[in-house]
Amino acid sequence: MKFGVVTFPGSNCDHDMIDALRHDMGQEVIELWHKDKDLSAFTTTDCIVLPGGFSYGDYLRCGAIARFSPMMQSVIDFANKGGRVLGVCNGFQILCEAGLLPGVLLQNQRQQFICRNIHLKSENTATPVTRFLAGTPLKIPIAHGEGRYYADEATLDSLFANNQVLFRYCDEFGNIHEDHNYNGAARNIAGITNKDKNVFGMMPHPERATNRELLNTDGQLIFQGLIG
């Protein structure tokens, strides 16, 4: 399996992602530039990754400009053909702006940038990303100012009904309540997938939790699901 990691102007987690996938997970990684369009080296069993950062300085809305990068049309085509796409933090914002995932990411409820370890869990084993997790709370870092997931009630109901909610914020024991909903996300949502379950977006950073030297390898479980 190959991973393609896209760098946009303002990306700052691209090399974190490349290092985690290449060295900690032992995967082949191809570095991609936002002005390129060629994804011919990838098949639908591979994965394109949109990393975190501040693409185009987060002008307008986060991800709103990156959505129009030349590479993104290729990513959209790749996803529509069934290829796997993972967006983390700013990458999640870009996927929502591109219409590959429903909803939007709004400014954090307290209008402050949050950088800390949090816990999340999946109640859904029906996706590649979550199939090995089975309700296990994971400790994963977050670092965002606009990570509050929002969608209307009908969309939220549909996400839960169709097993499209990947992760929800929780405490260290897996209990889901507002005290551990750090950004005010609707229904504690930390990550979602599309109806076809090949496009995945999440605000927490699994690539920052894959190495024993960081005293945290919980992120490996998320990548292992994708790798198979």
For residue 135, give the CATH number of its domain: 3.40.50.880
Q: By percentage, how much of the chain surpasses pLDDT 70?
A: 100
178 is catalytic: no
CA-CA-CA-CA dihedral for 136, 188, 108, 224, to nearest 10: 30
Strand-by-strand arrangement of the 114-121 sheet: 28-33, 2-7, 47-50, 84-88, 199-202, 189-193, 165-170, 114-121, 138-144
Catalytic residue among 62, 96, 119, 207: 207
Residue 199 near residue 98, CB atoms below 8 Å: no
Q: Which of 34, 119, 144, 205 is catalytic?
A: 205
Nearest to 91 by CA among 47, 132, 130: 47
Of the candidates 47, 89, 96, 170, the residue annotated as catalytic is: 89
Give the residue numbers spanning the domain of 68: 2-227
Farthest CA pair distance, the chain:
46
72-97 as b/e, with b when 16 or more CB fall inside 10 Å? bebbbebbeeebbbbbbbbbbbbbbb
Residues comprising the chain, all counted = 228
Residue 59 has pLDDT above 90, yes or no: no
34 is catalytic: no
pLDDT, one tens digit per residue, over 88-117 is 999 999 999 999 999 999 999 888 999 999
pTM of the model: 0.96
pLDDT tens for 123-177 read 889 999 999 898 889 999 999 999 999 999 999 999 999 999 999 999 999 999 9
Reference 42, options 15, 19, 71; nearest CA is: 71
Tokens of 51: 């990393």
Instruction: Look up 205 and say whether it is catalytic.
Output: yes
Number of domains in the chain: 1
**Tokens representing residue 161 in the block:** 């009904």
- Strand, coil or helix: 82: coil
- Tell me which H or E stretch contains 160: helix 153-161
